[in-house]
Structure 1
Amino acid sequence: MPAPELPPPQSTLPEAAARFGAHVLAEAAARACDIKTVTGGPPRAPSVPAPYAVSVPAPVPDLERILRGPSGLGTAGLRLISREQLPTPPEPSAATADGRPIPGLYYHQVAEPDPVRVEEVSRRIKSWALDEVSLYPEDWEEQFDGFSVGRYMVGCHPDAPTIDHLMIATRLMVAENAVDDCYCEDHGGSPVGLGERLLLAHTALDPVYTTEEYRAPWSKSLHADAPRRAYRSAMGYFDQAASPSQSDRYRHDMARLHLGYLAEASWAQEDRVPEVWEYLAMRQFNNFRPCPTITDTVGGYELPADLHAQTAVQKVIALAGNATTIVNDLYSYTKELDAPGRHLNLPVVIAEREGLSDRDAYLKSVEVHNDLMHDFESNAAALAADCPIPTVQRFLRGVAAWVDGNHHWHQTNTYRYSLPDFW
């Protein structure tokens, strides 16, 4: 049944925000409360019913960047707060100084992740990997520890209210990497037959509804290998903490990821280097998008589905995923060159398709990343100005924190990454 027609809203909001509709804003505010946590706590309702009176935590200083907007000539109008109001950035710790940032790369310095949280998340995730899902054999332990996933996730989710919330993201990150390593990459991965393996693994996230006769063998298959065991367990924990719309959103983004895996696999089977634009199209799917898109679940609240689905929100999330994934291409460049076979990354594709030297292709890739970052920040700042809803503002801060934390982890993880000698 169609919604009743409303009179034109009398609002001081910018026109773009008003276009969301008074009924959407009111409904969003009513649902913009903390969702139940993994410990089973009930949702916390807003303290007052007014459309914009949603209770959210005070912004953390290193999350303020997205509300400032981009810097540089002609961008002052995109900032929501003046430079005089900006907090002083935190001083880097000694650990932050470890690992050389890529010269010329546009990024934001962040504080070192809380070491107490890092230690506890690292302890819990290793226990989960070994005791709950039997994720890896003994000789992979050094690689698991070297990945430093606890430090990664604590740095990317500074507004997570509890360790339990951080574990939601950490299990999913480890499970996603198990699928990538075991099906696609380092530990027995192959493009041959990848579609079948990904489809069966995806059913651990998106359950199969079939007849009684065939349900049992499908259910048994979820324990067949480490990636499926990890997906099944991690998704189970996520479903306990998330709303149905958040779970469905995550499944959708994982389907995007798997589609990107398949595109890359087809190029490997054809022994073909794609055009640069084709590679970047693939990277919009085979990227980190599932991680920042769950920042509200990890933060203990929900960006309602009708707001999350807005084109402007989707564009910001996509740009964040694209920029963070090129960060991975740049920091993992030498690691991939040292691995057997040919690994596609943006510098390799640009060098091949545009006839540039390895150095010039790498430096051009830095420029591509910087352009994506500026687009992300400009679009996020414009959205923040156009849609001053507390959950939207908090979600944008969370995505920006994920972008910054992702770079910090890549820069400082010297166990995995080292830079080429191009400077």
Structure 2
Amino acid sequence: MPEPGPSPLQSSLPAAAARFGAHVFADAPASGIEAAGALSTVPAQVPAGVPVDAPVPLPPAGPGHVPVSEDAPAAAVRQASPALERILRGPSGLGTASLHLAARAEEPPPAPAPEVPVPGRPIPGLYHHPIQEPDPARVEEVSRRIKDWAVDEVDLYPDDWEGEFDGFSVGRYMVACHPDAPTVEHLMLATRLMVAENAVDDCYCEDHGGSPIGLGGRLLMAHTALDPLHTTKEYQPEWAQSLHSDAPRRAYRSAMEYFLRMASPSQADRFRHDMARLHMGYLAEAAWAQTDHVPEVWEYLAMRQFNNFRPCPTITDSVGGYELPADLHAPAAMQRVIALAGNATTIVNDLYSYTKEQASPGRHLNLPVVIAEREDMSEREAYLKAIEVHNDLMHEFEAEAAALAAACPVPSVLRFLRGVAVWVDGNHHWHQTNTYRYSLPDFW
């Protein structure tokens, strides 16, 4: 997929900052990308009147510059550039102009979108950024397509699971998290993978027959649907047949086949790597369940860095129809931003699913439960401290993203960071508003 900008590939972020900081901004008007506001130029909503599956163009450019030193610490960047921080964190309120395409010179600015009441209430004290309701036409189309795929292509669930599948509202989830996807088919890349990942979690680990016993073998076989087996001709057919043997493997195989049609080899390999991380996190949690071990808080957070949402924001460029080059995705600064985003959004899941998990049989490890036991706190005190942990992760994510954007203002880097930030906001919005699955504890 082409990089959305004129800058050639770079081997390191510091080098990119030093060699491209000036001329990327100088060339921005010609390239159709605003320099200082590049992250806000990616549309967060499909304008009215645009066909559901139509490509979404980038808006026209304007001049700008963010005069921040490449070696400035993240905290200093947050203070020195509040506009950059605001752009990076994505939408900051219902009806905000950052949710719309920038107006073309010959067109009047769009009228503010009406505020639409949303179900659910946010967790009091939780640091987050409200967003607009996702585009309803896209939600409807993605929801229709994903159900057709689940039922007709991969035979994902029996009839009595249909209500739970519908209640998951995955179409609404993915449209909220990827508002810059140029077509519905790009959105479907993320949607199929999300549904497949949840099938593995439910059927192998959790509610629908999952067990920690033998989990490693099941996960390994499922992972070969993403990262194919290369073996002899004698044994290849048996492996290929095994990919159809249960719903999780069927879903992984099909979702990955679709992904490979539109993603680059580098993007596919990146995704496989993050899925291996996810599966390793599943195994750590399963090992603790088998020994009835409650980890220390820092150990739990380490496990959650692997058993988390990271595979989802890491493909934000694939879903957006462009590519962040491998040498800009791999450096430690970018990996830290992605890891912090994954960690913060996963603690959001711990907090919103707390009541549901507490009502389920057995002990479910989540951050409030671990804090309560390891730090000798009441349930309420532990829950409120878990909110603080989330907020600290979010602030660190935004500070590191702002610092990276200032140090490496390459268009694809800016767009990717913006995409990850919007994914974080969309993930919170889905958790807050999915009252079918979640309700808040009575701690306030």
Do they superpose with TM above 0.5? Answer: yes
Q: 1:199 is matched with which residue?
A: 220
> Displacement, 1:87?
9.2
Q: Would you say 1:79 and 2:85 are equivalent positions?
A: no
> Displacement, 1:98?
1.4
Q: Would you say 1:272 and 2:268 are equivalent positions?
A: no
Q: Could you tell me how far apart the structure 1 residues matched to 2:185 and 2:297 are?
A: 41
**Contact 2:17–2:408 under 8 Å retained in 1:** no
Number of residue-to-residue matches in the alignment: 379
Q: 1:55 to 1:211 in 2, by over 3 A?
A: farther
Q: 2:283 is matched with which residue?
A: 262
**Contact 2:86–2:92 under 8 Å retained in 1:** no
Q: Could you tell me how far apart the structure 2 residues matched to 1:370 and 1:306 are?
A: 30
**Contact 1:284–1:322 under 8 Å retained in 2:** yes
Bigger mean CA deviation after superposition, 348-357 or 50-59: 50-59
Q: Would you say 1:59 and 2:42 are equivalent positions?
A: yes
Q: 1:173 to 1:360 in 2, by over 3 A?
A: same
**Contact 2:91–2:130 under 8 Å retained in 1:** no
Q: Would you say 1:245 and 2:266 are equivalent positions?
A: yes
- Match for residue 20 of structure 1 among 16, 19, 31: 16
1:304-334: CA deviation from partner (whole Å, max 9, x where unpaired): 0000001100000000000000000000000
1:205-258: CA deviation from partner (whole Å, max 9, x where unpaired): 000000000101000000000000000000000000100000000000000000
> Displacement, 1:340?
1.0
Q: 1:270 to 1:81 in 2, by over 3 A?
A: closer
State the identity %. 71
Amino acid corresponding to residue 90 of structure 1 in structure 2: L
SS of equivalent residue, structure 2 residue 125: coil
SS of equivalent residue, structure 2 residue 234: helix
1:15-61: CA deviation from partner (whole Å, max 9, x where unpaired): x95523888x69xx9xxxxxxxxxxxxxxxxxxxx799655693336
> Displacement, 1:146?
0.1
- Match for residue 138 of structure 1 among 146, 159, 172: 159
Q: 1:336 to 1:73 in 2, by over 3 A?
A: same
Alignment of 1:296-375 (within 5 A): 296-375=317-396
Q: Would you say 1:284 and 2:305 are equivalent positions?
A: yes
**Contact 2:134–2:172 under 8 Å retained in 1:** yes
1:46-85: CA deviation from partner (whole Å, max 9, x where unpaired): xxxx7996556933368xxxx9x9x99994314355989x
> Displacement, 1:96?
4.5
1:349-378: CA deviation from partner (whole Å, max 9, x where unpaired): 000100000000000000000000000000
Q: Could you tell me how far apart the structure 1 residues matched to 2:276 and 2:150 are?
A: 23
Amino acid corresponding to residue 178 of structure 1 in structure 2: A
Q: Could you tell me how far apart the structure 2 residues matched to 1:405 and 1:93 are?
A: 19
Q: 1:52 to 1:215 in 2, by over 3 A?
A: farther
Q: 1:227 is matched with which residue?
A: 248
Unaligned runs of 5+ residues in structure 1 are 1-15, 30-49
Q: Could you tell me how far apart the structure 2 residues matched to 1:210 and 1:19 are?
A: 41
Q: 1:45 is matched with which residue?
A: none
**Contact 2:371–2:382 under 8 Å retained in 1:** yes
**Contact 1:191–1:265 under 8 Å retained in 2:** yes
Amino acid corresponding to residue 19 of structure 1 in structure 2: A
- Match for residue 126 of structure 2 among 105, 116, 129: 105
**Contact 1:156–1:405 under 8 Å retained in 2:** yes
Q: Would you say 1:148 and 2:169 are equivalent positions?
A: yes
**Contact 2:119–2:433 under 8 Å retained in 1:** yes
Q: Could you tell me how far apart the structure 1 residues matched to 2:132 and 2:28 are?
A: 34
Q: 2:98 is matched with which residue?
A: none
Q: 1:83 to 1:155 in 2, by over 3 A?
A: closer
Q: 1:383 to 1:189 in 2, by over 3 A?
A: same
Bigger mean CA deviation after superposition, 95-104 or 297-306: 95-104
Q: 2:211 is matched with which residue?
A: 190
SS of equivalent residue, structure 2 residue 130: coil
Q: 1:90 is matched with which residue?
A: 94
Unaligned runs of 5+ residues in structure 2 are 1-11, 46-65, 69-73, 96-112
Amino acid corresponding to residue 76 of structure 1 in structure 2: Q
Q: 1:41 is matched with which residue?
A: none
Q: Could you tell me how far apart the structure 1 residues matched to 2:91 and 2:119 are?
A: 24
1:170-213: CA deviation from partner (whole Å, max 9, x where unpaired): 00000000000000000000000000000000000000000000
Q: 1:165 to 1:206 in 2, by over 3 A?
A: same
